[in-house]
Structure 1
Amino acid sequence: MVRFTQSCARRTSTMINQNANQILPTPVRLGADERFTGKGITIALADSGYYPIADLTQPTNRIRAWVDATESPARVLRFARDEAPTWPGYDDNAARHWHGLMTSTVAAGNGFLSGGEYRGVASDADIVLIRVMGEGGGIPNENIVRALKWIRASAEDYNIRVVSLSVSGDPYKKLLGNPIDEAVKALVQQHIVVAVAAGNDGVRRLTPPATAPDALTIGGIDDHNSFDPDEVELWHSNYGVSERKLPKPELVAPSIHIAAPLLPNSETAARAQDAFSKNDTAYIRSQKLITPHYQQVEGTSFAAPIVAATVACMLQANPALTPFDVRRILIATATRVPDADDARQGAGALNAFAAVAAALAQKDRPDLITEKSPLIRNERVYFIYRDPRAKRVQLRGEWDNWQGTLDAQQIEYGVWVIEMPKPSSGFYAYRFLIDGTTWIDDPDNPTRRTNPYGEFDSVLVVS
């Protein structure tokens, strides 16, 4: 799921050779809020393999654990803050280490090898690294499932709030209820946000975990290494539907012109050092090198950890957010890609700054999980309906003479909320519409009156 690419942008680091491939650091191009860097949040990644790069271990180690999910049961090595983490085979220069090295640093690297220049959006987050690729090079579905189940069992121990999956399983003959998507669902039910790479072929085809209805499936954009929103266009990422026929992806994020470290002690790293020392412009450009330590990378494998890192910042800003809150905010704040197919872009391009701002703003929102409906607070009215079987919940009422329909957002499994401005003083009848077919009164509200159809309407009392 990884390709390498070239770009020509402004100078961003004193370490960059004047003939190198120069790009904007990811937080800069996203306009990320520098006050929030994922501190206190742990991101778990499942990938082919990893390396304990300085961007994750210096000046303080942030790798909480390395997990080998190719074994049953999974093998776990935990690490302390002052420890130099290592694990079996980390330094054997195997190609599988590079992909996970890149995805983990795109999410949470602090740019140590670039003086902080090429950091990830969540540069203070802790991480857990889970290997799912076997020695033979494949990633069986059972390894992905084992990784996801381990995360669920261990999330509390490590404060795992976000999962980034830049892996693809094999297609299941029966998509509905497949083990990978069910394991993702179990994580979301445990208040863990899951971001998944859509794939890079530009076709209408998704495979688990990108098909998981409860995951945030992330497609790609090419912003041409520019701040200009008019330069943004869709990248050739996959799209399709989930097992429940819900459209995917949910949103898109940068998939090209992204900085990631070279694998230390590899032949590529050695040749990069040599090329910069000799000012070998032709080699630097051909290999898309940015500095002696960083190279440009490409793929939705990096769009997913960028979104996961943004989610970590949202949770740092407002730890009370649920996965449903995160989904709603990301979709509501996304920026539409002009003249792009809706099926391929979902809600649009990630707006990291707006997403964190919205997360902060929601701190003033009451705890709607436990409140009774209707709730009037701070000039807003909240209607709350609880039904785990409902697929869609809507509301109509007398405040606009029953003309408009308000759609509810699911903020927790089976908990639906509709928010609107408080109307002027008075009495307003209202009803819920469930799945487009069934009208009911508000079960939480004892204030009711009969309607012309011989049924009950609930009544909102505004004083």
Structure 2
Amino acid sequence: ASYLHNALSKTVERAVREGLTVVCAVGNAGHMPGHPVLPPASAPSCIAVGGLDDKNSLNRARRGMYRSSYGPTIDGLQKPELIAPGIWVPAPILPHTPTAEEAALLTTLDNAPDEELHALLAAHQGLDKDLDEARELPAYLLRQLITIKLHEENVITRHYKYVDGTSFAAPIVSSVIACMLEANPNLTPQQIKRVLIDTAERLPGIEVDRQGWGVVAPRRAVELALALRPLIV
């Protein structure tokens, strides 16, 4: 539905008119036919954020796109405006959950000497079906399974794992906006959007309609926000 008739999009527009900056995840449907951008990301005044895939590397030449949705919307609006890391994002694991218990076990096993693996598995039966079924295997095969499980579950440490999705990219842009407002509390939602667009970095070789104005550039955005402060006499 058009943003003119969608309750969620109309709420976004009203919030921006009242002075709130609204950041929305653009969605993860870039691999689907039509790669639809849905409300609230289709609202004109929001900042819709797509996903960057940096391949978990510091080599900027390797950067590409995550499978995020992109416009035009049903109203002909091009979305997203920006992209931010949407995969390989380290995030804390919620304590006291099955995911936390499995991550703790896998990390412990990965760091344990071979002679302790079977005892550790016997003491933690029921946490992982694959590990339960493999607990009698030789240590070298257990090592292979542990490595595979760490990779499959995206475990970094016992307390952190990799997550993906534009719902993780959007908060990164929100955190940049928070720093911009700390530097210049007088910025309006329109100015914030313009600063982010003006300072973003385009990815070479990637279609413009997929990345918008490019990758959010935190340092440049905060520096420009600071430069826009009214002079104090």
TM-score interval w.r.t. the shorter chain?
0.7 to 0.9
Distance 1:243 1:309 in 2: 29
1:193 pairs with 2:21: yes
C-alpha RMSD of the superposition? 1.7
Distance 1:310 1:278 in 2: 38
Where 1:326 maps in the other structure, the secondary structure is helix
Match of 1:317 in 2: 183
Distance 1:340 1:308 in 2: 24
Distance 2:9 2:219 in 1: 30
Equivalent residue in structure 1 for 2:166, among 284, 292, 300: 300
Aligned length: 194
Distance 2:155 2:207 in 1: 33
Task: For 1:236, give the aligned amino acid.
Answer: R
Superposed, 1:110-259 pairs within 5 Å as: 172=1, 174-202=2-30, 203-242=34-73, 244-259=75-90
Where 1:313 maps in the other structure, the secondary structure is helix
Listed one character per residue, the Cα deviations across residues 43-94 of structure 1 (whole Å, up to 9, x for unaligned) are xxxxxxxxxxxxxxxxxxxxxxxxxxxxxxxxxxxxxxxxxxxxxxxxxxxx
1:329 pairs with 2:221: no
Where 2:91 maps in the other structure, the secondary structure is strand
Report the alpha carbon displacement of residue 231 of structure 1 after superposing the two structures with TM: 1.7
Unaligned 5+ runs, structure 2? 111-145
Distance 1:365 1:240 in 2: 39
Where 1:363 maps in the other structure, the secondary structure is coil
TM-score (norm 2): 0.78
Report the alpha carbon displacement of residue 204 of structure 1 after superposing the two structures with TM: 3.1
Pick closer, same or farther for the CA change 1:255–1:365 going to 2, 3 Å.
farther
Match of 1:265 in 2: 96
Where 2:228 maps in the other structure, the secondary structure is helix
Superposed, 1:312-461 pairs within 5 Å as: 312-364=178-230
Pick closer, same or farther for the CA change 1:333–1:230 going to 2, 3 Å.
same
Report the alpha carbon displacement of residue 251 of structure 1 after superposing the two structures with TM: 0.9
Pick closer, same or farther for the CA change 1:365–1:247 going to 2, 3 Å.
farther
Listed one character per residue, the Cα deviations across residues 121-178 of structure 1 (whole Å, up to 9, x for unaligned) are xxxxxxxxxxxxxxxxxxxxxxxxxxxxxxxxxxxxxxxxxxxxxxxxxxx4x54332
Equivalent residue in structure 2 for 1:275, among 106, 123, 128: 106
Task: For 2:157, give the aligned amino acid.
Answer: T
TM-score (norm 1): 0.40
Task: For 2:202, give the aligned amino acid.
Answer: R
| Greater Rg over alpha carbons, structure | 1
Match of 1:289 in 2: 155
Distance 2:79 2:89 in 1: 23
Distance 1:330 1:255 in 2: 17
Report the alpha carbon displacement of residue 339 of structure 1 after superposing the two structures with TM: 1.1
Report the alpha carbon displacement of residue 244 of structure 1 after superposing the two structures with TM: 4.3
Q: Which has the higher helix share?
A: 2
Report the alpha carbon displacement of residue 324 of structure 1 after superposing the two structures with TM: 0.7
Distance 2:224 2:78 in 1: 24
Contact residue 36 and residue 73 of structure 2 kept, 8 A: no
Listed one character per residue, the Cα deviations across residues 280-308 of structure 1 (whole Å, up to 9, x for unaligned) are 43322221101101110111111111111
Give % identity: 41
Distance 1:193 1:336 in 2: 23
Q: Which has the higher strand share?
A: 1
RCO (CA 8 Å, sep 6+): is it higher in 1 or 2? 2
Listed one character per residue, the Cα deviations across residues 169-191 of structure 1 (whole Å, up to 9, x for unaligned) are xxx4x543321111001111121
Distance 2:186 2:96 in 1: 42
Task: For 1:176, give the aligned amino acid.
Answer: L
Where 1:227 maps in the other structure, the secondary structure is coil
Where 1:348 maps in the other structure, the secondary structure is coil
Unaligned 5+ runs, structure 1? 1-171, 367-463
Distance 1:243 1:216 in 2: 17
Pick closer, same or farther for the CA change 1:364–1:260 going to 2, 3 Å.
same
Where 1:296 maps in the other structure, the secondary structure is strand
Listed one character per residue, the Cα deviations across residues 307-351 of structure 1 (whole Å, up to 9, x for unaligned) are 111111110111010001101000000001101111111111111
Distance 1:342 1:198 in 2: 15
Contact residue 198 and residue 218 of structure 1 kept, 8 A: yes
Task: For 2:93, give the aligned amino acid.
Answer: L
Contact residue 28 and residue 69 of structure 2 kept, 8 A: yes
